[in-house]
Homo-oligomer: A and B are copies of this chain.
Amino acid sequence: MTALLASNSYGKSAVRMVKLERRGQRHDIRDLTVDIALEGEFEDAHTVGDNSMVLPTDTMKNTVYAKARERSLGEPEEFARLLGEHFLAASKSASLARVRVAEHGWRRLDIGGRPHDHSFQRGSSERRVAHVTSRRQEEPTIIAGIEELIVLKSAQSAFAGYAKDRYTTLRETADRILATSISTYWRYADGATSFGVLWESVRRTLLGTFAEHDSRSVQHTLYAMADAVLETSAEVEEISIAMPNKHHLLVDLAPFGLENPNEIFVPTDEPFGLIEATVTRDRSRQVEGERRIR
């Protein structure tokens, strides 16, 4: 038998960092989770335990903190790209570096009707993410995204006309709650730079379409959201969206002599529908393989 190392990856995940940015009395909080992974010629580490080409993951962690201190973070995409380039330089054996930066939101407190200089409340579960894949002698692939953006619409959502078989008991509805936790990743064309403005624009388009769409299914709305992003953001080459259907079940109140005109629901966690699609301008490249580190 000849065992072959078909692929390998190593790195540090869940590096947590808060950077305090001061402009006089006014503070900003940057709260990041960074994941790093390297791929390349690490065969001897695996087969004979030779660590001489292995930059420790502890060093990766230290580097995140040092780089964050040495310069301004900028946008998550920029910090991820900087780290990716650094690790390719730091590790001769690495042919590819993936860096994921997730930013967690803090909202400035309003105190006495005014935004406070240095006090904040943690925001929702929503995270802004950037995934940068750096290769030697190539432009990095830059993917931006949003994770755990939990939204709900209580009108303009139907589900009917679907296929039925002997195991179908679901009733058609012209009016249901549509709730989901949006995870989405989009790939930028080479040369995109205004990452903050672009991200805000994509997010606004996604939410606007979610809210305004006359939904016949999760698929229908998901596609409309992706299509609108490609329509409005020329820098976006491709977008993947995953939307679990966080079912809100209508409670049967008939045993108690009550109607339930779409008013009382049980939100459920399990099971959940899961709808995913990738929409592109160009079939030749795929966002999928680039996006995961953890």
Mark A residues whose CB is within 8 Å of B: 1-22, 25, 27, 29, 31, 35, 37, 42, 45-59, 61-63, 65-66, 68-70, 90-91, 106, 109, 111-112, 116-126, 149-156, 159-170, 177, 207-208, 210-212, 215-220, 222-223, 226-227, 230-231, 238, 244-245, 248, 251, 253, 255-256, 258, 260, 262-283, 286, 288, 293-294
Task: State the oligomeric state as a number of copies.
Answer: 4
Main secondary structure of the interface of A (DSSP, over half): mixed
A160 contact set on B, CB distance < 8 A: 51
Do the beta carbons of A5 and B42 come within 8 Å of each other? no
Do the beta carbons of A286 and B6 come within 8 Å of each other? yes
A29 contact set on B, CB distance < 8 A: 152, 154
Do the beta carbons of B51 and A170 come within 8 Å of each other? no
Do the beta carbons of B223 and A162 come within 8 Å of each other? no
Do the beta carbons of A154 and B27 come within 8 Å of each other? yes
Whose C-beta in chain B lies nearest to the C-beta of A223?
A: B46
A251 contact set on B, CB distance < 8 A: 17, 65, 69
